[in-house]
Structure formats: C-alpha cells, structure tokens
C-alpha cells in the first residue's frame, strides 16, 4: 500500500531564508509524485509534479523538488521565501496502477518578516 509522510507539521522561517519541506513515501512500485499548495481559505493548487524523466522538477514561483528513489523522498525546497508563500503544502503520491492520490498530512509554512 502506498503512504506519504510529511515529517514536519509546521515550519516557521524568516522572509528571504531558504526552506525545505520534507516528504517521504512508501510504495512497492513506480510512483508519480506531487506537491500541492493550499493558501488560506482556498482550494489545492498543483505546485509541481514528477511523472517521469528528470528527477528535479521546478515550479514557476521558485520552488523545486527532487525525486530520490533510493531515499523514497520528494522534498520541496525554495532558496528564498516570501511572505506570499505562507500556506499549507501537501505532498501526494499515486503508485502506477493504483486508483487514488494519497496525501500527506500537510506542512504549514509560516513566513515571519
């Protein structure tokens, strides 16, 4: 069975500091991996995804994530955060052949000025 663990429920950082949100998954087969962002009082928006190919994927707003098969991880990073990045971030996985996207519990990113 597939599962996702987001290791930090909350991450406070200062503006312009780097951040890493950690995600580990469990699956016995090949996977597709996603990061979604949920801004306050809004729905989930796809931030970036790994389906195949290059293990480093990037979003349009400066986030990147690297698929590490040996570590079964898909950590999300940004070199310099902004106040507008304050949101909850969800890592999600679906195994090839599986029917559903499985989400982690979410990491609340708080940016302090």
> Among residues 8 and 15, whose Cβ is nearest to another protein?
8
Binding-site string for another protein from residue 38 to residue 57, where x marks contact by CB under 8 A and - marks none: ----xxxxx--x-x------
Asked whether position 26 contacts another protein by CB under 8 A, the answer is no
Least distance in Å: CB of 38 to another protein? 9
**Sole window of 15-23, 56-64, 70-78, 98-106 interacting with another protein (rule: CB under 8 A):** 98-106
DSSP for 67-106 reads EETTTTEEEEEESS--GGG-EEEEEEEEETT-SS-EE---
Closest CA to 87 of 112, 66, 111, 65: 111
């Amino acid at each position: 069975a597939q599962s996702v663990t987001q290791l930090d429920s909350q991450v406070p950082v200062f503006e312009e500091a780097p951040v890493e949100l950690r995600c580990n998954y469990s699956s016995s087969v090949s996977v597709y991996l996603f990061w979604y962002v949920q801004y306050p009082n809004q729905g989930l928006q796809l931030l970036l995804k790994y389906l195949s190919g290059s293990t480093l994927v990037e979003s349009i707003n400066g986030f990147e994530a690297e698929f590490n098969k040996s570590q079964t991880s898909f950590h999300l990073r940004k070199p310099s955060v902004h106040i507008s990045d304050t949101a909850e971030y969800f890592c999600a996985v679906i195994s090839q052949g599986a029917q559903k996207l499985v989400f982690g519990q979410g990491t609340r990113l708080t940016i302090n000025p």
